[in-house]
């Protein structure tokens, strides 16, 4: 775990694209309804410049995880694209990415962080709850989400 470096990258970078492609393939495998990657591909511009940011976790040249922030409204950020390579799960990479996303949200003046997730992602839901996220009413129209969470981080 100590050899994993988490850094902000452009969502168009090769590392970000590789991570998102793996993430989307995994969602398509896991979700009972499948997953339409075209919908997600349209979101990538949301994670750069004055709209948000994108993180990649690497061990050497291997991309082991990712996560993104999108600015929803003044004071509020949304976590998207949280993913860790299956071979790296259980090593603290997801928690490290989540903590860095929260830190970046505060650094960008967004002390409230929201996220949505699918009911089939039980490990992710457990991590969010352990990390202090509480369930809130639906705040978006994501057709794949059944749970919505929020945390005050700053």
Rounded to two decimals, the pTM is 0.91
Cβ-in-10-Å burial (0-12, 13-18, 19+) of 83 comes to: buried
Element (H, E) at 28: helix 14-30
Handedness of CA 7, 3, 112, 12 (dihedral sign): positive
Domains of the chain (ranges; CATH) run 4-152 (3.40.630.30)
Question: How many CA atoms within 13 Å lie on the side-chain side of 86?
Answer: 7
3-class DSSP assignment, residue 52:
strand
Pairing of strands 147-152, 112-117: antiparallel
Per-position pLDDT tens, the chain of length 154? 568 999 999 999 999 999 998 988 888 788 777 776 666 655 666 888 889 999 999 999 999 999 999 999 999 999 999 999 999 999 999 999 999 999 999 999 999 999 999 998 999 999 999 999 999 999 999 888 999 999 999 8
Residue 26 confidence (pLDDT): 84
Q: Which of 70, 26, 20 is nearest to 50 (CA)?
A: 70
Residue 40 confidence (pLDDT): 61
């Amino acid at each position: 775990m100590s050899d994993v470096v988490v850094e902000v990258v452009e969502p168009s970078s090769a590392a970000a694209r590789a991570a998102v492609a793996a993430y989307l393939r995994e969602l398509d495998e896991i979700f009972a309804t499948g997953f339409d990657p075209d919908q997600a591909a349209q979101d990538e511009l949301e994670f750069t410049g004055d709209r948000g940011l994108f993180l990649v976790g690497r061990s050497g040249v291997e991309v082991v995880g990712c996560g993104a922030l999108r600015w929803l409204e003044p004071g509020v950020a949304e976590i998207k694209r949280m993913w860790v390579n299956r071979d790296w799960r259980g090593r603290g990479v997801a928690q490290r990415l989540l903590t860095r996303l929260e830190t970046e949200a505060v650094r960008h003046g967004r002390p409230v962080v929201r996220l949505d997730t699918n009911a089939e992602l039980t490990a992710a839901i457990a991590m969010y709850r352990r990390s202090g996220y509480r369930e809130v009413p639906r705040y978006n129209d994501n057709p794949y989400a059944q749970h919505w969470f929020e945390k005050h981080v700053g």
